[in-house]
Chains A and B, each alone.
Chain A
Amino acid sequence: MIKILAACGAGVNSSHQIKSALENEMKKRGYQVSVDTTMIKDINQDKLEHYDIFTQIANSNLGFEINIPVVDAGPILYRIPTMAEPVYQELEDTIKKLGKK
């Protein structure tokens, strides 16, 4: 199981959209992915330690260094397949590098 944290400003709307899109698409590609959502302001280093990958809408300055792979997932929000595809591909590449199933 690959654990992903998706964050946006309010912790609703955008991050849930990302969660639903990533879980569906990665399942199709044969990966077991679980995405939690959060408000950006609630993220700290301890929280991030529980995840394999961090996905954000835009480049967010969390005030500390992020030690896990980060994938920018904002283009998914357009709900246009050609815009989402590069995000899915980057996530898949990142998952492959992690070597987890």
Chain B
Amino acid sequence: MITFDTLFTKDRIYISNKTNQKDIFMEVYQDLLKQNCVTKDFLRNLCERERNYPTGIDLAPIDPSLPNIAIPHTESQFVKTSGIVPIKLNHPIYFYNMIHPKEELPVSFLFMILNQDGQEQTSLLASIMDFINSCDKDELTAFFQMKDSEDLFNFLKNNFKGVIAND
């Protein structure tokens, strides 16, 4: 069952001042490792995956005023829990577009997916997209600009509803 409480914790929300993908991944990885959420090989796999199969998502089709996001993740064997890790980027960085991998997108927010049991918990990505699709667009724009992790957490708590739409 996908609910806010099972996927998000206050200790796993980040606001990064780093200016490149590698440094952001390193910063978050080191803390996730400390929290015993990922294995030592997580970072290497995360970087390799992002290079070969990028995860940037262009939000313009949803609303052209929204910044873009990315959903970095690894294979299940490198994580020890299931959840979604919000990472606000104070400096937008470029990710390649998941659907059009030759296109680069400036990305301002990451929803890193930790998916421990790939076969069973398949809807984490769907729950992120349903969150974005269901939010009021002005409120969502404000969310993406929040500077405080407590504010990010509370907005998610109030607006993240799990999987809403049927396929």
Please judge, given known A-B contacts A24-B167, A75-B99, A83-B61, whether A10 and B75 are in contact too, CB under 8 Å: yes
List of A residues within 8 angstroms of B55 by Cβ: 9
- A31-73 interface code vs B (CB 8 A; 1 in, 0 out): 0000000011000000000000000011110000000000010
User: Which of the residues B62, B75, B113 comes within 8 Å of A80, measured between beta carbons?
Assistant: B62
Please judge, given known A-B contacts A12-B115, A75-B99, A79-B130, whether A39 and B122 are in contact too, CB under 8 Å: no
Interface residues of B in 12-69 (CB under 8 A from A): 49, 52-53, 55, 57, 61-62
Is B101 interfacial (CB-CB < 8 Å)? yes
Is B166 interfacial (CB-CB < 8 Å)? yes
User: Which of the residues B49, B100, B118 comes within 8 Å of A16, measured between beta carbons?
Assistant: B118
Please judge, given known A-B contacts A24-B167, A59-B101, A77-B129, whether A10 and B61 are in contact too, CB under 8 Å: no
Nearest CB in chain B to that of A15: its residue: B122
**Is A39 a contact partner of B75 (Cβ separation < 8 A)?**
yes
**Is A79 a contact partner of B133 (Cβ separation < 8 A)?**
yes
Please judge, given known A-B contacts A11-B75, A16-B118, A24-B167, whether A79 and B126 are in contact too, CB under 8 Å: yes
List of B residues within 8 angstroms of A40 by Cβ: 52-53
13 of the cross-chain contacts (CB-CB < 8 Å) are: A10-B115, A11-B118, A12-B73, A17-B126, A19-B122, A40-B52, A57-B98, A58-B97, A58-B98, A59-B101, A74-B99, A77-B99, A78-B61
Give the contact-size bracket for chain A.
Answer: 20 to 34
Nearest Cβ in chain A — how far from B42, in angstroms?
12
B contact residues, total (Cβ < 8 Å): 32
Is A89 interfacial (CB-CB < 8 Å)? no
List of A residues within 8 angstroms of B166 by Cβ: 24
**Is A12 a contact partner of B75 (Cβ separation < 8 A)?**
yes
User: Which of the residues B57, B62, B76, B133 comes within 8 Å of A12, measured between beta carbons?
Assistant: B76
**Is B53 a contact partner of A74 (Cβ separation < 8 A)?**
no
Q: What residues make up the interface of B, taking CB atoms closer than 8 Å to A?
A: 49, 52-53, 55, 57, 61-62, 71, 73-76, 97-101, 113, 115, 118-119, 122-126, 129-130, 133, 165-167
Distance in angstroms between the alpha carbons of A82 and B124 in the assembled complex = 21
**Is A79 a contact partner of B75 (Cβ separation < 8 A)?**
no
**Is B99 a contact partner of A8 (Cβ separation < 8 A)?**
no
**Is B113 a contact partner of A13 (Cβ separation < 8 A)?**
yes
Please judge, given known A-B contacts A17-B123, A79-B126, A79-B129, whether A10 and B118 are in contact too, CB under 8 Å: yes
